[in-house]
Chains A and B, each alone.
Chain A
Amino acid sequence: MKVSIKPDHRALAEALRRRVLEGPGETRPELRLASAERAAGGPASEAPFDDLARQIGEATHRVTDAQVSSVLTATGSEKATFEIIVAAALGAGLSRWQQAMKVLDEVTNAPA
């Protein structure tokens, strides 16, 4: 018999957030978190990470070779640069996830 269990999106989102923003990596978790928050419209972080994270959040198709190269030069590692890029992407995506789930919860938890 085939058993279908609906995905637990909240748990899967949280597992992804914790691994990328809090787990071990080549970059400091604080830098990843700052990049995620920046891409979600948060405060400026340190250069040169700030410029890339802001661009990924606002209009990622306009990211330039120079913006990525600056982060690569600062970190000295492609893996570290990758971590900053996915942290920023995650920040923009998860902020939308949280906002959308918040408005849905407002409707579904509203008293009849």
Chain B
Amino acid sequence: MRLPEIERGDGVANRLLISFISMVSGMRLPDAARVAFYHKDFFGTPMGAWTQAAMRGPSPWRVAERELMACMVAKWNACAFCVGAHGAVAAKEMQRPAVDEVISDFHAAPISGRLKSALAFLEVMTLRPKDLKAEHAMAALSAGVSAQALIDAIAVGALFSIVTRYADALDFAMPTPEEFERAANMLLKRGYAS
């Protein structure tokens, strides 16, 4: 973590909260959660509201599918922290080998055609946003992705284009696989709103 104040917590209440959650969960609170508590009125509150709506709100996509989208945006942005974190949440509702197959090559992975089409759209949006054209949206819609489902996927793509950037700019500490597993339980139970 490049800004120690985020790791410590800004203010006594947040420091106590970070210590308490770390103690109860039996693991160091991941840096993503520390950011959510930091300078909260400026960023954590509005970011958490949109993230919670996109990742846990009503959607044609299951939670695991949205977590896989987040995981893939992280892969395309080379953010190891977010690949680990969101792959672990997806693996709570899918078989871990299937998650790994998606990460390796989503085109050949055992997922639905509409999810593959949404991921194909998100790949261009993430890596070559200026190349994104109506034909990419048309391809997703033609594959059975509804307009609402594509909007929901775009929201996930935009949010994790943001998250991955501050995660790596701040140099989040990398949890162990066991810590990702525990954090995934927390993310499923508590969600993203800070």
Q: Do A and B bind each other?
A: yes
B38 at the interface (CB under 8 A from A): yes
Q: Which residues of B contact A97 (CB under 8 A)?
A: 154-155, 157-158
Interchain CB contact under 8 A, B158 and A86: no
Interchain CB contact under 8 A, B168 and A65: no
Q: Which residues of A contact B132 (CB under 8 A)?
A: 99-100, 103
Q: Which residues of A contact B2 (CB under 8 A)?
A: 65, 68
* Interface majority SS (helix, strand, loop, mixed), chain B: helix
Given A82-B38, A96-B129, A99-B130: A52 and B169 interface contact (C-beta under 8 Å): yes
Interchain CB contact under 8 A, B161 and A93: yes
1/0 per residue, CB under 8 A from B, across A44-85: the answer is 000000001001110111010100100010000011011101
Interchain CB contact under 8 A, A13 and B158: yes
Q: Which residues of B contact A103 (CB under 8 A)?
A: 132-134, 136-137
Chain B, residue nearest A68 (CB): B2
The B-contacting residues of A in range 8-37, CB under 8 angstroms, are 8-9, 12-13, 15-16, 19-20, 23, 25
Given A7-B53, A93-B165: A78 and B58 interface contact (C-beta under 8 Å): no
Further pairs besides A89-B162, A100-B154: 14, Cβ < 8 Å: A6-B148, A9-B54, A12-B50, A15-B50, A65-B2, A68-B170, A86-B166, A89-B163, A89-B169, A99-B129, A100-B125, A103-B136, A104-B147, A107-B138
Interface size class of A (residues with CB under 8 A): 35 or more
Interchain CB contact under 8 A, B165 and A56: yes
Interchain CB contact under 8 A, A63 and B169: yes
Chain B, residue nearest A57 (CB): B165
Interchain CB contact under 8 A, A85 and B154: no
Chain B, residue nearest A17 (CB): B46
Stretch from B4-12, B18-26, B88-96, B101-109 at the A interface: B4-12
Interchain CB contact under 8 A, B151 and A104: yes
Interchain CB contact under 8 A, A61 and B130: no
